[in-house]
Amino acid sequence: MDERRTTQADIEPAAVAPSRRERFSQRFNALYARYPLRLTALTAIVSAVAVLSMYHALFASRGAMKLTQEDIDAAVQHTLTETVLPSPAVRAYETILPSVVRIESFITDPKTNEEKEHGVGTGVVIVNDGTILTNLHVVQGAERIQITFMDGHKTVGILQGVRPEHDLAVLRAKVIPDDLFAATMASTADLRPGDHVFAVGFPFGIGPSVSGGIVSGLKREFKSPEGGHSMSNLIQFDAAANPGNSGGPLVTASGEVVGIVTAILNPNEDQRTFVGIGFAVPIENAASAVGLAPF
């Protein structure tokens, strides 16, 4: 892969240090962006208990009916009944989303000598210093790599290493946003066919998008129709995946990463649409690409 030499023009200006209030606001907004429905439900419960406590403080001294534990339990139960809790797909999506990035690669058109898009894929932050996993085929041959975080921040992606046998590439973001969340990884040792999984990424550049399905099989082999490269020990899944999902996370209902989406099986080489069989590299293999023990 070609790498450009960093020049002074590539270096992004340093941000002004935020105040304590701004840092608190940033952290709260990042937390709320990650768990909005759960925080909403928690807020509703806390509000219900607070209202009952105020009632007790206001009227107990006047000889009115005392607030009992049964009253509190009933109020909490009513709040839980009236508050719609998120589905597994929503929980998975909200949990992983802050760690998902859009990856665009660019090359120079030899005819016009102008830069053009080479490909679009997905990546996932696995270390909060800006270390990102994606597929090698997403960035292979690129002259420039651009990473877009979920807060809209864009920066240059620097290739740190490759693992061709697993179609993996390790990128480092030149500049990272405040309060960057690294994904939580989960062992595949307990993963079983039938377990629910979700793929989050940018299929055909559209996204972020989420699709859901189940684990269809384990320890599968796949041979790339383009280069004939074979991969083994893959997770087979049926959550819809298409070009652009490549390099994105395959997650559990808890939003924990168990694999990196890497390939889809098509009946012939001309098709690049999902027919129900996708493959992901187990996270143990993916994490070892950056020298990490994931658990």
- Cα–Cα distance for residue pair 116/199, rounded to 1 Å: 28
Q: Which two tokens stand for residue 47?
A: 């509000």
Name the residue among 285, 261, 283, 286 with its Cα closest to residue 274. 261
- Cα–Cα distance for residue pair 232/221, rounded to 1 Å: 4
Q: Is 137 a catalytic residue?
A: yes
Name the residue among 53, 51, 47, 50 with its Cα closest to residue 67. 53
Q: Is 167 a catalytic residue?
A: yes
- Calculate the alpha carbon distances from 290 to 130, 159, 181, 230 in Å: 12, 12, 18, 21
CB 157 within 8 A of CB 132: yes
- Cα–Cα distance for residue pair 222/146, rounded to 1 Å: 29
Beta bridge partners of 107: 116
Burial group, residue 151, by CB count within 10 angstroms (0-12, 13-18, 19+): middle
Of the candidates 105, 167, 209, 216, the residue annotated as catalytic is: 167
CB 120 within 8 A of CB 104: yes
Of the candidates 99, 105, 137, 209, the residue annotated as catalytic is: 137
* Residue 253 neighbours by CB under 8 Å, 6+ apart: 88, 89, 91, 92, 196, 198
- Cα–Cα distance for residue pair 277/265, rounded to 1 Å: 6
Q: Is 246 a catalytic residue?
A: yes
Catalytic positions? 137, 167, 246
